[in-house]
Amino acid sequence: MLIMTLESSCDETSAAIIKDGDTILSNAISSQIPIHRRFGGVVPELASRNHVLAINQVIDDALSAAGCTLQDLEGIGVTSGPGLMGSLLVGIETAKALAYALDIPCVGLNHLEGHLTAVLLQQPNYTTPTFPYIGLVASGGHSDLYLVRAMGDYTILGRTRDDAAGEAFDKVAKMLGLPYPGGVEIDRLAASGDPEAIAFPRPMWTRKNLDFSFAGLKTAVLTHLQQHGIPEGQQLSDLCASFQAAVVDVLVMKTIAAAKQQKVPRIILSGGVACNSMLRQRMQEQAHKKKLEVFLAPPSLCTDNAAMLGPAAYYKLKDSSGTGFSHFDLQASSSMAPGKDARQPVKGPHR
Ligand code: KG4
Ligand code: ZN
């Protein structure tokens, strides 16, 4: 089954052609990072306008790289949420118009489900996990832990109570005068820094509650900067490494705790923050000690892209009636597993 997937939930416009749900024939991405960089973050209005400008070209690129035409497509999957409303609309309306014109089915997909199942795509030198697995989605908008029992069967085990991990990276980078997206810059500078130079707090350091909180850590960095000024050179690298280690330690500890609690022997990492070199390394080291398997998506499938929607699109489309045009709407703040929330009730501030 040949499917086209479209992703436009934030600042990447992307189209992919996927065969049988797990084989990437093409994954065209137009990034708006240079456009938003001068504002230090994503400007929603600019994002949606630039999706409009990019989407047709990205679709053409995906089709030609895959060596096929629109007429070869048997279905379309598109991110319908969560994300920026204006940005989502561009992908959704394009997908619906194409599906209507081609008389093929079109399904709306959850962006988080895309991140969570990207590891199921075949990639050279990467093995794919079997079910069940624990999935950590760490991105600019989310720090979520899920139990994935099968396609479509997701239980939320923990999520951030304030800032997402990537948001904390981006905001700390902004305080340090580093360009957007900050996670990439902090990762680069941290490579030559000492992660133990500054003892930043590890927020919500408990295995019992799998929620995250990164706002207090961000404030700890701000307080440090107010007391010591913005560092340069080696001290800047040390600060980046120390902050990064605090985020990574919490993500690793809770992901492994989730696997132990659920008695699930494998873990997957995804979302933009899963590109982080220290996170990838420490997760593998700690999981190995606990005899857990770790599956890391290649960095190109961690940040936003349309190919990551392939498994979810295939799963939904193969069960759809086959023809016609299904109705779905934009869900800017959609939850992926309504009713399946295994988290403990919030008892108070944990910063
Ligand atoms: O998944 P993604 O592309 O978009 C969202 O769904 O949010 O994630 C983007 C986030 C940004 O916050 C960015 O700073 C972060 O991922 N990121 C990183 C790294 N690369 C991207 N964070 C830490 N280390 C990295 N190497
Ligand atoms: Zn994302």
Per-residue pLDDT of the chain (351 residues; tens, 9 = 90+): 999 999 999 999 999 999 999 999 999 999 999 999 888 888 999 999 999 999 999 999 999 999 999 999 999 999 999 999 999 999 999 999 999 999 999 999 999 999 999 999 999 999 999 999 999 999 998 999 999 999 999 999 999 999 999 999 999 999 999 998 999 999 999 999 999 999 999 999 999 999 999 999 999 999 999 999 999 999 999 999 999 999 999 999 999 999 999 999 999 999 999 999 999 999 999 999 999 999 999 999 999 999 999 999 999 999 776 544 556 677 777 666 555 777 755 544 443
333 located within any domain: no
Could you tell which of 8, 9, 113, 184 is best to mutate to test the pocket of ligand 1, judged by most ligand atoms within 8 Å of the CB?
A: 184
d(CA 337, CA 346): 19
Do 281 and 307 lie in a common domain? no
Asked whether residue 334 is assigned to any structural domain, the reply reads no
Of the ligands numbered here, which is closest to the C-alpha atom of 141? 1
Q: Which residues line ligand 1 (CB under 6 A)?
A: 10, 139-141, 166, 169-170, 181-184, 187, 271-273, 275-276, 303-304
- For residues 110 and 171, state if they share a domain: no
Atom of ligand 1 nearest to the CA of 11: 4
For the CA of 278, the nearest ligand:
1
Q: How far apart are CA 77 and CA 127, in angstroms?
A: 24
Task: With respect to residue 341, please indicate whether it lies within any of the assigned structural domains.
Answer: no
Closest CA to 332 of 87, 130, 165: 87
Reference 88, options 51, 53, 41, 113; nearest CA is: 51
Residue 196 lies in a domain: yes
Distances (CA, A) of 166 to 142, 184, 270, 272, 339: 8, 10, 12, 7, 26
Integer Cα distance of 206 and 250 in angstroms: 9
For residue 135, the CA-to-ligand 1 centroid distance in Å is: 16
| C-alpha of residue 126 to centroid of ligand 1, in Å | 21
Same domain, 54 and 154: no
Side-chain-facing half-sphere of 200: CA atoms under 13 Å: 30
Asked if 161 and 94 sit in the same domain, the reply is no
Question: Distance, CA 37 to ligand 1 centroid (Å)?
Answer: 14
Instruction: Name the residue of 116, 143, 303, 308 whose CB sits within 8 Å of the most ligand 1 atoms, as the mutation to test its pocket.
Output: 303
Q: Which ligand is nearest to the CA of 168?
A: 1
pTM over 0.85: yes
CATH number at residue 87: 3.30.420.40
CA of 79 to the centre of ligand 2 (A): 10
Q: Could you tell me where the DSSP H helices lie in the chain?
A: 33-37, 44-66, 85-102, 111-117, 165-175, 182-190, 215-228, 233-262, 277-289, 299-302, 310-318
- Mutual orientation of helices 182-190 and 233-262 as an angle, nearest 10°? 110
208 within domain boundaries:
yes
Considering the domain architecture, whether residues 48 and 110 belong to the same structural domain is answered as yes
**Cross-strand pairs, 160:** 212
Domain that holds residue 309: 2-117+303-317
Question: Which pLDDT belongs to residue 349?
Answer: 43
Decide if 327 is inside a domain: no
Please choose, from the candidates 141, 145, 206, 193, the residue with its C-alpha nearest in 3D space to the C-alpha of residue 168. Answer: 141
The reported pLDDT for the residue numbered 342 is 76
Q: 271 C-alpha vs ligand 1 centroid, how far in Å?
A: 7
Which ligand has the shortest distance to the CA of 138?
1
Residues 178, 97 share a domain: no
pLDDT (0 to 100) of residue 336: 66
**Are 57 and 150 found together in one domain?**
no
Q: Within this chain, do residues 139 and 20 fall inside the same structural domain, yes or no?
A: no
Statement to judge: residues 69 and 174 lie in one domain: no
Sort strands 266-270 and 133-138 into parallel, antiparallel or unpaired: parallel
* 137 and 250 belong to one structural domain: yes
Is residue 330 assigned to a domain? no
Which residues is 266 bridged to in the sheet? 293
Are residues 281 and 171 part of one domain?
yes
- The pLDDT, as a whole number, for residue 339 is 53
Q: What's residue 350's pLDDT?
A: 41
